[in-house]
Amino acid sequence: MTQLLRKSCMPESGYRQVVPVAEAPLEALGFGLANLTAGEAWPFETGGCEWTVVVLSGSVRAYAGQSELTDSPLGSRANVFGGKASAIYLPPGIRGRIEAVTPARLAVCQAVSDHGAEPTVITPDHVRTKTVGAHNWRREVQDIVDQRLDAGRLLVGETFNRPGCWSSYPPHRHDEDRLPVEANLEEIYFFQVDPPQGFGFQRVYTDDRSMDESYAVEHNDVVVLPRGYHPVAAAPGYRVYYLWLMAGTGRTMCPFDDPQHAWIKGLETVLREQQP
């Protein structure tokens, strides 16, 4: 079985390609992280991929060629728990650079694509927030790149678990193209924990248990999700965040819940009705 967990992925400085693009068991996605000092410029080339660069912390300016994409410094979070994200969507075939105005950490979400869109700056006002689940599987989800943005394959967002709570629950998968029941999308999770010495857990499994992996996930870990159900739990006392990126044959989000646990969706309705 391929090891799906990558530990302590944030580089001490510069850029690190954490998950090479389309490296097995993935077919389309890649993922990298950058840790920049104030004033540092990071040159990039998207090549045959579309990118979404999410500002995890700090602020930056972005350039495509010699043209500045940002009218003012982009990003204002001290960390991922400090509000909505800022990001930049970059289509294939773009060369440019990102300059750190303050110390900045960036997540680089990549997917093989030939989609001819325009570079787009995504401000916090664009990010759509929703609350999903109930009781101890209630979580906040923020959509950064969804169907509102002209992109080829990428979907990108952030999920926030409260201490002791679950997300991606009931367990769901997106392995097969059989709309309107399920859509085929591979995925990568990048984790942050507050306080950072904390941890959570993730299970990745299939119906026949040919894949059944469980991991303790910690600050700056990455989990590759080529298939299977993939619930997450936060340890008591610690908030758990994960950035998620998905790509498939389409851009429709249609997860399929594990039939053994799908009954809990009905309980969500009852719990919401009981809330004052």
pLDDT > 80? residue 273: no
Task: Assign 270 to helix, strand or coil.
Answer: helix
Question: Is the sign of the CA dihedral 234, 211, 178, 222 positive or negative?
Answer: positive
pLDDT, tens digit, for every residue of 12-28?
999 999 999 999 999 99
What would the pLDDT profile of 196-232 be if each residue is shown by its tens digit? 999 999 999 999 999 999 999 999 999 999 999 999 9
Over pLDDT 90: what percentage of the chain? 92
Predicted local distance difference test score (pLDDT) of residue 112: 98
| Domain positions in the chain | 9-268
- Give residue 66's Cα distance to chain centre: 29
Q: Give the C-alpha separation, 224 to 2, whole Å.
A: 10
What is the pLDDT of the chain when averaged over all its residues? 96
pLDDT at 158: 99
Q: What is the pLDDT of residue 15?
A: 98
DSSP 178: B
What superfamily in CATH does domain 9-268 come from?
Answer: Jelly Rolls (2.60.120.10)
pLDDT, residue 166, reads 98
Q: Which amino acid is at 51?
A: W
120-141: average pLDDT? 96
Question: How far is residue 66 from each of residues 43, 91, 94, 253, measured CA to CA in Å?
Answer: 12, 16, 11, 36
The position carrying tokens 């990549």 is 110
Residue 100 CA to residue 78 CA, distance in Å, equals 14
What are 200's two structure tokens? 């959570």
> 1-10, 21-30, 42-51, 208-217: lowest mean pLDDT where?
1-10
The separation between CA 3 and the C-alpha centre of its own chain, rounded to angstroms, equals 19
